[in-house]
Amino acid sequence: MPDILQANPPAPITSLTEDEVMFRDNIRQFAEEKIRPLVKEMDEKAVFDHSLIDQFFQLGLMGIEIPEQYGGGGGKFFEAILAVEELSRVDASAGVIVDVQNTLVNNALIRWTTEEQRKRYLPRMATDLCGAYALSEASSGSDAFGLQTKAELKGSDYVLNGRKLWITNGKEAGVFILFATIDAAAGYKGITAFIVEKDYPGFTVGKKEDKVGIRASSTCELILEDCRVPRENVLGEVGKGYKIAIETLNEGRIGIGAQMLGVSRGAWEYATKYAQERKQFGKSISEFQGIQFQIAQMATEIEAARLMVYNAARMKDAGMNFVKEAAMTKLFCSQVAERVTSLAIEIYGGYGFTKDYPVEKYWRDSKIGKIYEGTSNMQLATIAKLVMK
């Protein structure tokens, strides 16, 4: 019997260049050899093995799009998406660490920094510095711009006060793209983005959330109490933080789509392998049409999800308007992940409902796809607005 876990699932291979195939395969091999043996322990302890993050940097996975002149890979957004997909196939927590670093933090730094800021931060983002993206607060989730965190200019520094919630990579990050308002009366036009370093006075990483899924990925509260941020650490322009947030989140949604695609693939591969091994009534359950139809439906939805992810990423790299496609990608891929991982548990039967087998983790990891970086309802609102113009 072929080893399903090592075989390529249905994929539009012709849509990848030779270099992209090699890049993808190298990451797949790394994920199998270095990450998979640690997945269960990291999930149970809710701690990501820091040695893996060091290896992410060594492999160039944390600075894929950073220009070569700053020590990065000088690659495309599409390559970052391939990396997130392949890592998430083995562990969604690994996928999201690389995802946030590339599609949100590095993306914002590449596009909005001054040359002085680029020289200061990009070389480290490519070699040893994790980043996080701090937008959400207790009162501003889907209403992303209802921020309560305040920034007041005092001399050569901005003084920030407030709290951020649900910040991915909060524990590992050394630098944060953090949003605060300098003028609450101005609404979204008062929002400003700052580059905040972890060791700035008045900055504290607070509670780490105990989550259902992606448990090894840290999700933390950030506390700012008279946190002093140098004036030169404004990202972009004062009062233009809303523009940075909107544009980076649009790209980040493709990353979440890739993460959910990887989760779906991982669960599907395990379920297909198990269906060929499990015997009932004298034959493997994969010989029953009911199971065959489930596996076929899962494979079809995974293929559709892959095409949406790849298409949106290609559009981004081509400089096309991809806002609608990004929203559709995140919406659909998160739905597929939830359905596929749930079916995988059912194919395993009672075993699937235990932690002794891997599919229940994929199911737990899938749920966040409908929530972070814009809930499914917010994606539907965006899609409806764009298609009904």
At 341-376, the pLDDT tens digits run 999 999 999 999 999 999 999 999 999 999 999 999
Band of the pLDDT at 81, cuts 50, 70, 90? very high
Nearest to 84 by CA among 73, 72, 99, 74: 99
Mean pLDDT confidence for 202-218: 97
Class in CATH terms, 13-130: mainly alpha
**Alpha helix segments (H runs only) across the chain:** 18-30, 39-45, 50-58, 77-90, 92-99, 107-112, 115-127, 241-277, 289-317, 323-348, 359-366, 376-387
Mark whether 18 is an active-site residue: no
Superfamily of domain 132-239: Butyryl-CoA Dehydrogenase, subunit A, domain 2 (2.40.110.10)
* CATH 1.20.120.530 given to domain 243-387: no
Question: Are 65 and 102 a contacting pair, CB within 8 Å?
Answer: yes
Identify the sign of the CA torsion 9, 13, 16, 19: positive
- Model confidence pLDDT, tens digit, residues 22-62: 999 999 999 999 999 999 999 999 999 999 999 999 999 99
Q: What percent of the chain has pLDDT over 70?
A: 96
Q: What is the pLDDT of residue 237?
A: 95
**pTM for the full model?**
0.94
Q: Is 138 helix (H, G, I), strand (E, B) or coil?
A: coil
Contacts for 120 with CB less than 8 Å, ≥ 6 apart:
none
Q: What is the pLDDT of residue 142?
A: 82
Indicate the domain borders of the chain.
13-130, 132-239, 243-387
Pairwise CA distance, residues 63 & 103, whole Å? 10
Question: Are 119 and 71 a contacting pair, CB within 8 Å?
Answer: no
DSSP 8-state class, residue 184: G
Which member of 172, 338, 360, 373 is catalytic? 373
Measured from the Cβ of residue 124, the count of other Cβ atoms closer than 10 Å reads: 18
- Per-chain mean pLDDT for the chain: 95
Contacts for 384 with CB less than 8 Å, ≥ 6 apart:
none
Contacts for 35 with CB less than 8 Å, ≥ 6 apart:
52, 87, 90, 91, 94
